[in-house]
Amino acid sequence: MECVMNSVISAVNPSFGSRVNPASLCEKNGLVHRASSSFSRQDTTFSCTKLPGSAKVLVPKLQDPEKGVRSIRKARRWTRASAAAALEYDVVIVGAGVVGTATAHHILTTTKLSVALIDAQVPCSGATGAGQGYIWMAHRKPGTAGWALAKHGKSLWETFAEELQASGESLQEALGLRHTGSLLVASTDDQARSLQSWIQVLSEAGIPSTYWTPVEVANMEPALASGCVTGAAYFHEDFQIDAALTMNTLLKKVREYAAGGRYKELFNTPVQQLIRSSAEGRIVGVEIPAGKVFSRNAVVIASGAWTMTLMNTVSAQWGIPLVPPVKPRKGHLLVIEGPHNIPLKSGIMEVDYLANYHSPGSQERPAAKPAEESGVSVSMTATLDPSGNLLLGSSREFAGFNVDVENEVIERIVERAALFLPGVRSMKGKVRTGLRPYSSDGRPLVGPVEDVPGLILATGHEGSGLCLALATAELVTNMIQEFENPVEFSPFLPRGRLVGALA
C-alpha cells in the first residue's frame, strides 16, 4: 500500500510566511532577562563584523533598528561597567544556547568553580529557540557512541526532572515536560516491515516498544490519516520538553549564583577573539567589544553553528588547525496555535525522518547525500507543546547563515504533514527557523583541543542538542575537573578532526 500525496500548496495560509523570533518565544513563555531588556529583539540575521586586521567573525545583526539600537545601547553600558571590574572567572563559556547554558548550570551546581556565560545575542536566539523538544531514543542506532551519549543524556533529563519535582516545581511549567512516548509512523508496506525489525533491535537494547497495526494506530491516534498509515512503532519511554521553558529554568538556576559572585552573564556581547598566553600557549580568556574576560581554568566554545567562524578567526591568526567541521543546517518548524482539532497523544515522526537525520555519534550513518548539499529535505514530525500548539516539522538544508523563512519549504512541510494529518491543510500558523550545528562526520565535538590548553569545544550536536545538552555539560565539567566520565567520550574528542583556517 502506498500513500497518495495530495497537493496542499493552495491551502497554505499566507500567515506561515512570518518568522517567529525564537527569543520572542522565550519571552512569551516568561523567559525574559528583564535586567538587560535583551529579549526585546524582533528578528535575527547574521552579518560579518570587521575585526582588527582582516579577520572576520559572524555575529548577530539586529533587524528592528529602533529596538535594536535601544538594546545595543543598554548592552554596551552594561558590559562597559562590567569590564571596568576586570572580569575573571574560572570558566568562560561562549554561547548561551542549551549546550552552553546547561554547561554553566552543571559547573555551578556540582563544583565550586565560577562561570561567565557570554552570548552574542540572548539565550534561545540560536538553534535552541527553534528546537521541537524530542528527547527520544526511537530514531537512534544502538551500539554507536551517539547512542550511549543520548541514552545517558536522556537519563540526566529524567534525574533533573525528579530533582525539580522534589523541590516542588511543576514539570509542566519548569520544563514543559510531557511523557508522550514517541510514535514512528510508516507509510509503505516496506517501512512497516522495517519498523517491526527496528522494534526488535531497540527492544534488545533495552528500549520498550510496541508495534501498532493501522487499526491500532487509528484507535490510539485518530488524527492520523488511516488510509496512509501502514503501521507504527510506539516507544513508551520517550518524552518531550519545551526548549524555551527549559532554558528559563536553567537560567533561573544559574542566576542564583550571581549574588555570590560565581556567575556572570554577558549577553548582546560577541566574543571576537580568544586570548592566548605567549609563554605557554594556553587560552586565558576572550576578547569582547568592551574589553577582556579572563578564564582561570578553561574557555568553553559552545557557539553552535557559528563555531566555525569564531575558530576560523583564531586559527588564521595563530596558524594552527582549530576549525571544527561544523556548519549551519537550517531548519523550519511550523507553529499552529490552538485551538485546533489535532489532539495528538504521542510525539510523532515519520519513518523517513531516519534517512534525513544524521544521528550524532553514529559511525554507521551515511554522509550528507549529495542532493542535500544544494537541496532541502523534509520529513513529517508533529508534537504538541505545553500550550497545546501543534508543532510541525521539519526541514533540513544547507543555506549558510540565512534564517529567512522560505515559503516553498513551508509549503513542503505542510504538504508532507497533510499526508499524515489531513486536518492541517486549512490551519494558520507561524514559523520558527534555526541553524542546527551540523558536524560533517556526524559526531558532536566535545572536549579539550590538543596542544591548546585551556580550550574546550562543545558543539556540533545537529538535531540532538536538546537531548544531548545535559550529557555534554557533564562531560565538559568532568574534563575541566579531570574526573572520570560515565560514558565513552573518545569519539567526541576534537583530536584529529580540526582543520586549518579556511580562506
Work out which of 97, 146, 442, 454 binds ligand FAD, going by CB under 6 A. 97
Residues in Cβ contact with 168 at an 8 Å cutoff, skipping those fewer than 6 apart: none
CA 481 vs. chain centroid, Å, equals 25
Residues in the chain: 503
Burial 30-48 (b: 16+ CB within 10 A, else e): ebbbeebbbbbbebbebee
Binding piece for ligand FAD, criterion CB under 6 A, among 11-19, 114-122, 165-173, 315-323: 114-122
Residue whose CB is less far from ligand FAD, 230 or 383: 383
Q: Is 445 in the site for ligand FAD (CB under 6 A)?
A: no
Work out which of 131, 146, 386, 454 binds ligand FAD, going by CB under 6 A. 131
Binding piece for ligand FAD, criterion CB under 6 A, among 11-19, 112-120, 199-207, 403-411: 112-120
At CA 199, angle to CA 195 and CA 204, rounded to 5? 150
Helix (H, G, I), strand (E, B) or coil at 484: coil
Work out which of 146, 176, 361, 465 binds ligand FAD, going by CB under 6 A. 465
Number of residues that bind ligand FAD (CB under 6 A): 46
Judge contact between 276 and 299, C-beta under 8 A.
no
| Greatest C-alpha distance within the chain | 70
Work out which of 139, 140, 154, 436 binds ligand FAD, going by CB under 6 A. 436
Residue whose CB is less far from ligand FAD, 332 or 340: 332
Judge contact between 454 and 40, C-beta under 8 A.
no
Judge contact between 445 and 324, C-beta under 8 A.
yes
Q: Is 38 in the site for ligand FAD (CB under 6 A)?
A: no
At CA 123, angle to CA 310 and CA 303, rounded to 5? 20
Work out which of 111, 182, 273, 303 binds ligand FAD, going by CB under 6 A. 303
In angstroms, what is the minimal distance from the CB of 170 to ligand FAD? 22
Q: Is 347 in the site for ligand FAD (CB under 6 A)?
A: no
> Which residue shows C-alpha cell 509542566?
172
Work out which of 21, 79, 121, 246 binds ligand FAD, going by CB under 6 A. 121
In angstroms, what is the minimal distance from the CB of 279 to ligand FAD? 26
Q: Check residue 224 and report its DSSP letter.
A: S
Work out which of 231, 437, 491, 494 binds ligand FAD, going by CB under 6 A. 437
Q: What is the DSSP string of 364-424?
A: TSPPPPHHHHHSEEEEEEEEE-TTSPEEEEEEEE-BTB-----HHHHHHHHHHHHHH-GGG
Residue whose CB is less far from ligand FAD, 415 or 462: 462
CA 190 vs. chain centroid, Å, equals 32
The kind and range of the H/E element at 196 are: helix 189-204
In angstroms, what is the minimal distance from the CB of 197 to ligand FAD? 25
Q: Is 305 in the site for ligand FAD (CB under 6 A)?
A: yes
Binding piece for ligand FAD, criterion CB under 6 A, among 8-16, 52-60, 109-117, 221-229: 52-60
Q: Report the C-alpha gap between 426 and 247 in whole angstroms.
A: 32
The kind and range of the H/E element at 91 are: strand 87-94
Judge contact between 102 and 95, C-beta under 8 A.
no
Q: Is 429 in the site for ligand FAD (CB under 6 A)?
A: no
Q: Is 191 in the site for ligand FAD (CB under 6 A)?
A: no
Residue whose CB is less far from ligand FAD, 231 or 436: 436
Q: Is 94 in the site for ligand FAD (CB under 6 A)?
A: yes
Q: Is 134 in the site for ligand FAD (CB under 6 A)?
A: yes
Q: Which three cell numbers stand for residue 379?
A: 520529513
In the range 261-300, which residues lie near ligand FAD by CB under 6 A? 270-271
Binding piece for ligand FAD, criterion CB under 6 A, among 88-96, 167-175, 184-192, 215-223: 88-96
Binding mask 394-413 for ligand FAD (x = CB under 6 A): x-------------------
Residue whose CB is less far from ligand FAD, 230 or 248: 248
In angstroms, what is the minimal distance from the CB of 76 to ligand FAD? 15
Q: Which three cell numbers stand for residue 215?
A: 487499526
Task: Identify which of 483, 477, 484 has the alpha carbon closest to the alpha carbon of residue 447.
Answer: 477
Q: Report the C-alpha gap between 177 and 161 in whole angstroms.
A: 8
Q: Report the C-alpha gap between 358 and 162 in whole angstroms.
A: 30
Q: Report the C-alpha gap between 443 and 441 in whole angstroms.
A: 6
> Which residue shows C-alpha cell 545575542?
121
Angle between helical axes of 98-110 and 243-255 (0-180°, round to 10): 40
Work out which of 181, 214, 386, 434 binds ligand FAD, going by CB under 6 A. 434
Q: Is 461 in the site for ligand FAD (CB under 6 A)?
A: yes
Q: Judge if the upstream peptide bond of residue 197 is cis by omega within 30 degrees of 0.
A: no
Q: Is 464 in the site for ligand FAD (CB under 6 A)?
A: yes
Q: Is 132 in the site for ligand FAD (CB under 6 A)?
A: yes
In angstroms, what is the minimal distance from the CB of 362 to ligand FAD? 14
Backbone phi, psi, residue 170, to 5°: -85, 125
Residue whose CB is less far from ligand FAD, 157 or 234: 157
Binding piece for ligand FAD, criterion CB under 6 A, among 132-140, 155-163, 178-186, 409-417: 132-140
Residue whose CB is less far from ligand FAD, 95 or 448: 95
In the range 359-388, which residues lie near ligand FAD by CB under 6 A? none
Q: Which three cell numbers stand for residue 423?
A: 486536518
Contact residues toward ligand FAD (CB under 6 A) are: 57, 59-60, 94-100, 118-121, 125-128, 130-134, 270-271, 302-306, 310, 331, 333, 393-394, 434, 436-437, 459, 461-467
